Amino acid sequence: MDKYEEFMALTSQTIGILKDMSKRSPYDMASDGMARKTAKSFTTLADALFGPTDSPRLQRESVALAEERGLSLEYLEMVEKHAKKLKKRGAAWRLRAELIAFEGTFEEVEAYAKKRVMEKGGDKPKQRGVRLGRVVDGLRTISITYTQRRIADLEKTLDAAIKDDDQPRSAALLEPFWDLVEGTGTGLIKPEYRTVIAIGLDDFAKVSCGKGEDVIVALSDGTTMTSTEFINAAMAGSLGDKLYVGLFHPTAGPVNLYEARFASEKLRTLAMAENLVCPWPDCNGPADRCQVHHIDAHKHGGHTKPSNLTMLCKYHNGVNDDDGPRKKRKRPSPGKPKRGRMRRHRGKVRLHAPGGKLVGNTHHVSSMGAMDLL
């Protein structure tokens, strides 16, 4: 058994460890070298699992099941994070029991937990507004929450005024932001949607006839649009005067792009329609700001054709292992470990992780691209 296997075996004993922690104060644990903040979070979780409760039977059964399943500390902390949002008598333990029994990956359970908390009224939707943080080291933070469409328009306005692309994005947007605030900029841009909008034929027919009230379409700027917003944008001329129709095969991926006029960025548009955000797992980089990536590297003879192209953000395009398994070395190469590479599997673009697993992006806009509409 190597150290990783020993670590995984230890994580399966979390319930026993937490039971022993419930007998200790966080100050005792801190005196053993643990950060006091960490010790308090552990004892809070231990108190929830082993302390007084309004649902003793559910508590006993759920803790026994968690021990039987060997649930990790990270898993139980995630369960507690969501369950404690429910304040009605018995509601928190009913949700804990439901999540401890739920079969699925960590990400699937967390997504389900968020949905259940929202259904039970434990999570309030974000409120629109401007929030100002306190001073830290002479700096303050401003946060704006508003509709995704207005914020996307603001982002595109700032993007258009960036003067130095070599800076980190947050720094590059700072000067255009203050130019806009101080009135020295060009004002807010109402952009045409050269941004790609992915919509299935059935939904397009509904929307065009005014019958698709419940249709939500996704855009390559990382946002979504209701059918009403889609129609309003079309009526206002924001969608431009060109209609592009992308052809996608269920297993081969993008095949061709048809339009009323010749498109100079035909291949890029197809790739954007397929992946509206960077397809690397957990990335939310919108396709509008991504780079066209050859799945089979061009330097190794990969062709510039629809099925061999995808969109990757600048960072993931840089860390993608273009050589992949092509090179077989007798000794491990020096330097940083490989991160994996993109490949097309059954028509869809996935990350081929170094351990051999194929992993997709779970971002909600990522699941609304052209290949998911077939």
Crossing angle (nearest 10°) for helices 91-101 and 106-119: 150
Distance (Å, whole) CA 293 – CA 169: 21
pLDDT for 242 equals 58
Secondary structure E strands in 77-128: none
State the helix-helix crossing angle for 91-101 and 73-83, rounded to 10 degrees: 150
- E strand or H helix that includes residue 131: strand 129-132
144, pLDDT greater than 50? yes
CA distance 196 to 201: 15
- In sequence order, what DSSP letters do the residues of 330-370 get, joined into one string? SSPPSSSPP--EEEEETTEEEEE-TTS-EE----TTGGGSG
pLDDT in tens, 45-76: 999 999 999 899 999 999 999 999 999 999 99
Q: What percent of the chain has pLDDT over 70?
A: 82
Is 192 in contact with 240 (CB distance < 8 Å)? yes
**Which pLDDT belongs to residue 324?**
63
For 207-219, how does the pLDDT look when each residue is reduced to its tens digit (9 = 90+)?
Answer: 666 666 677 877 7
Which strand (E) or helix (H) includes residue 108?
helix 106-119
**Separation CA 79–CA 83 (nearest Å):** 6
Q: Which two tokens stand for residue 122?
A: 């434990």
Residue 108 pLDDT greater than 80, yes or no: yes
If DSSP codes are grouped into helix, strand and coil, which group holds residue 258? strand
Give the burial class of 262: count Cβ atoms within 10 A of its Cβ; 0-12 exposed, 13-18 middle, 19 or more buried: exposed
In sequence order, the 6+-apart residues with CB closer than 8 A to the CB of 112 are: 99, 102, 104
Q: Does the pLDDT at position 234 exceed 50? A: yes
pLDDT of amino acid 118:
87
With a pLDDT cut of 90, the percent of the chain lying above it is 31
Name the burial class of residue 210, with classes exposed (0-12), middle (13-18) and buried (19+) by CB atoms within 10 angstroms of its CB: exposed
How is residue 233 annotated by DSSP? H
Q: Tokens 């643990």 label which residue? A: 34
Quick check: 256 pLDDT over 70?
no
**Nearest alpha-carbon partner for 49 in 7, 6, 14:** 14
Q: How far is CA 314 from CA 159, 289, 322, 359, in A?
A: 15, 8, 14, 19
Query: Could you give the CA distance from residue 95 to residue 108 in angstroms, rounded to a whole number?
Result: 15
Query: Cα angle vertex 280, ends 327, 317, to 5°?
Result: 60
d(CA 157, CA 180): 9
Q: How many CB atoms lie within 10 A of CB 214?
A: 9
Rounded CA separation 227/225 (Å): 7
Q: Which amino acid would we find at residue 264?
A: S
- CA–CA dist 34, 28 (Å, integer): 9
The residues spanned by each domain of the chain are: 3-119, 129-181, 193-374
pLDDT of residue 367: 84
The model's confidence at residue 243, banded by pLDDT at 50, 70 and 90, is low
Confidence of residue 18 (pLDDT cuts 50, 70, 90): very high
pLDDT for res 69 = 94
* 276-335 pLDDT tens trace: 999 999 898 998 888 889 898 878 888 878 888 899 998 999 899 887 654 444 444 444
User: Residue written as tokens 């059964």?
Assistant: 61
For residue 198, report the phi and psi dihedrals to the nearest 5 degrees. Answer: -95, 125
Q: Which residue has the tokens 């704006």?
A: 144
DSSP state of 196: -
pLDDT band at 259 (very low <50, low <70, confident <90, very high): very low
Q: Identify the top-confidence range among 31-40, 153-162, 295-304.
A: 31-40
CA distances from 301 to 41, 53, 165, 232, 322 (A): 53, 64, 30, 45, 12
Q: Is this model's pTM higher than 0.85 or not?
A: no
Average pLDDT value for the chain: 82
The CA angle 285-283-328, to the nearest 5 degrees, is: 115
| HSE value, Cβ hemisphere, 13 Å, CA-based, for 255 | 7
